[in-house]
Amino acid sequence: MTHRLPLFSSRTLWKRIEVWTISPLILSAVVTIVTAPILLFYFHQVSFNGIVANLFAIPLISLLIPLMIFVVILPAGMAGFFYHGFLLVHQLLISWTDFCAELPFTYNFVRFSPLQFLLSGILLYAGVCLSKRYSKQAIIILPLFLTALAGVFLLSSPIDNLRLTFFDAGTADCALIETPSGQTIMIDSGPPETLPGHIKSTVLPYLRANGIGRIDWLLLTHRHIDHIGGAVYLSRQLVIDNILISEAFAETDVWQSIYTVLPTSTRIVILSDTMTFHLGEVKLLLLHPDRNYTHSDPNNLSLVARLDFREFSVLFTGDLSSDGENHLLTQYKEQLDTDILKLGHHGSDTASSPQFLEAVTPIAVFVPARIGNVHNLPSPEVINRLKNKGILSYIGGTDGSLQAFSDGFQMELTSIVTERDFSLNVVDD
């Protein structure tokens, strides 16, 4: 003989609450935790805001459904009370979910290695085994659980060397420097969304995959859109601590249109003369434009930066043309000799003069130019000039992005598309 519980007893009420609220909350939390390693490994982001949101969202939805049914099936005269109740609960739900969306439990740009992914699986398995059902095995499982837990949070993929990436951003500039101390410098931000190579499809996936959610320094070399087009978009996706621009750029309407929409937390540094700053062992020397140089062409007012890490060095020239190059040859010739050169003005014949290349003496150059661009860049004359001097040329549109790794004494280059690898000792004899 079966005994049915009273309809409104405290026990049945608790059972109903458990079925309608507590069980879905537990299920939501379990699903979020179980899928977190997959989301971190493949998409480099995860959010736990939903667990908090469901604390009230599930009960509120449980109220909304019957209220909605009553509004639909009852006559108009009787449905009014339930309609106003529906509106009230609906507004509470919207307000609560908006609040939860701003909670700080969303993690983007998380670097999650295959080993961490494996350890996460072990951690979840050990967690199941440590449940009440398997408590007898706890003495064996607990060390496994603690080891996996430590591995997930302590294991990382630190950069032992300096890593430099020249992105294939079409006929536009964007380079990222990752220092051994974990800081980042980005030079230019590529083209706007209307042009091929926008950072949304070129740079951002790389940042996500490598757990980079903060740019310590963003250098915008000059006002042209193929160098600054992604700056605002980038500022909305991650944290930019400092933006460095020239005094000439700061006085333009183009900069003002960018500045007005940047986060107030971003510090703006305006270069009025040469300067140097250090990020650990990495030194960045801003050579140009100095206080004595003026020009009507924005290209010649491009920031020129020299990067040094022990014996390894790189020169970034923006869109600097012949007049700016001549100023550098006159004033700073000793600082031009570097291992890698970001070729000026996308390989145009208005830059990279024989005298300038002779002073820089690069081992390799990167040319940010899309194949078939309307300006026919890079110039065949410049490419022949590089070949005649025995300089390795990597063209973005052909070779894809170029990465350079260095411990300060050795240099390794690899192009993403053509896989042209090169390594060399950069220590001066």
Pull the structure tokens for residue 394. 């990597």
Using the 3D structure, point to which of 157, 180, 212 is the last residue of a domain: 157
Sheet hosting strand 214-219, strand order edge to edge:
267-271, 239-246, 214-219, 184-187, 175-178, 162-166, 402-406, 410-415, 421-425
For 161-165, 198-202, 232-236, 349-353, which range has the lowest pLDDT when averaged over its residues? 198-202
pLDDT digits (tens, 9 = 90+) for 39-94: 777 666 778 888 788 878 878 887 888 888 888 888 877 778 888 888 898 898 88
pLDDT score at 378: 94
- At 429 the pLDDT is 47
pLDDT score of 281 more than 70: yes
The whole-angstrom separation of Cα 229 and Cα 248 is 18
Of 309, 311, 276, 277, nearest to 290 by C-alpha is 276
Q: In the 8-state DSSP scheme, what is residue 95?
A: H
Tally of CB atoms within 10 A around 21: 17
Q: Which is more confidently placed, 307 or 3?
A: 307
CB atoms within 10 A of CB 335: 18
- The pLDDT score that the predictor gives to residue 175 is 97
Q: What is the pLDDT of residue 364?
A: 97
Distance CA 318, CA 346 (A): 9
In the structure, how many helices (H) and strands (E) does the chain have?
A: 15, 18
Q: Say yes or no to pLDDT of 122 above 80.
A: no
Q: Would you say 381 and 348 are in contact if contact means Cβ atoms under 8 Å apart?
A: no
Residue 159 pLDDT more than 70?
no
Of 221, 159, 201, which is closest to residue 184 (Cα–Cα)?
159
pLDDT band at 259, cuts 50/70/90? very high
Q: Do residues 316 and 405 both lie within one domain?
A: yes
pLDDT (tens digit per residue) in 173-225: 999 999 998 899 999 999 998 887 888 888 998 998 888 889 999 999 999 99
Do the Cβ atoms of 277 and 284 come closer than 8 Å?
A: yes
Q: Does residue 254 sit in the same domain as residue 286?
A: yes
Q: Which amino acid is at 94?
A: I
Are 52 and 183 found together in one domain?
no
> Cβ atoms within 10 A of the Cβ of 323, count?
15
The domain tally of the chain equals 3
**Which of 72, 94, 110 is a domain's end point?**
110
pLDDT at residue 97 in the model: 85
Q: Is residue 137 pLDDT above 60, yes or no?
A: no
For 366-406, the pLDDT digits (tens) are: 999 988 888 888 999 999 999 999 999 999 999 999 999 99
Tell me phi and psi for residue 110, to 5 degrees.
-95, 125
Q: Are residues 406 and 372 in the same domain?
A: yes
Contact 346/378 with Cβ under 8 angstroms? yes
CA-to-CA dists, residue 301 to 145, 193, 261, 269, 334, angstroms: 58, 25, 24, 16, 20
pTM for the whole structure: 0.71
pLDDT at 7 over 60: no
Region of residue 352 (left: phi > 0; alpha: psi -120 to 50; beta: else): left
Dihedral (Cα; 97, 98, 103, 108), 10-degree rounding: 100
- Residue 383 near residue 404 (C-beta atoms within 8 A): no
The CATH code of the domain that includes 216 is 3.60.15.10
Burial class (CB in 10 A: 0-12, 13-18, 19+), 330: exposed
Q: pLDDT at position 320, please?
A: 97
pLDDT in tens, 11-53: 665 565 555 566 666 777 777 777 777 777 766 677 888 878 8
Q: Give the model's pLDDT for residue 303.
A: 97
Q: Which of 195, 194, 209 is nearest to 403 (CA)?
A: 209
Burial class (CB in 10 A: 0-12, 13-18, 19+), 131: exposed
The predicted model gives 99-118 an average pLDDT of: 72
What is the pLDDT at residue 111?
Answer: 64
Kindly state whether residues 83 and 130 are assigned to the same domain. Answer: no
| pLDDT at 60 (0 to 100) | 83
Range of the domain at 223: 162-425
Q: Are residues 282 and 390 in the same domain?
A: yes
> What confidence tier does 157 reach under pLDDT thresholds 50, 70, 90?
very low
In a shared domain, residues 33 and 94 = yes
The 10 Å Cβ neighbour count of residue 421 is 9
Q: Are 90 and 98 a contacting pair, CB within 8 Å?
A: no
pLDDT of residue 341: 98
Query: Is 420 a residue whose pLDDT tops 70?
Result: yes
Based on the fold, state whether residues 61 and 185 are members of the same structural domain.
Answer: no
The predicted pLDDT at position 313 comes to 97
pLDDT surpassing 70 at residue 9: no
Strand, helix or coil at 17? helix
The token duo for 317 is 């020239």
| Cβ contact 197:221 at 8 Å | no
Cα angle vertex 347, ends 344, 351, to 5°? 55
Q: What are 102's two structure tokens?
A: 């701003």
Same-domain pairing of 195 and 287: yes
Looking at the fold, whether 142 and 176 belong to one and the same domain comes out as no
Give the mean model confidence (pLDDT) for residues 233-241: 94
Query: H/E element holding 89?
Result: helix 76-101
Read off the amino acid at residue 72.
V
Do 262 and 401 sit in the same domain of this protein?
Answer: yes
- What is the rounded CA–CA span in Å between residue 364 and residue 406? 14
In this structure, the answer to whether residues 88 and 215 fall within a common structural domain is: no
Least confident of 105-119, 223-237, 333-347, 364-378: 105-119
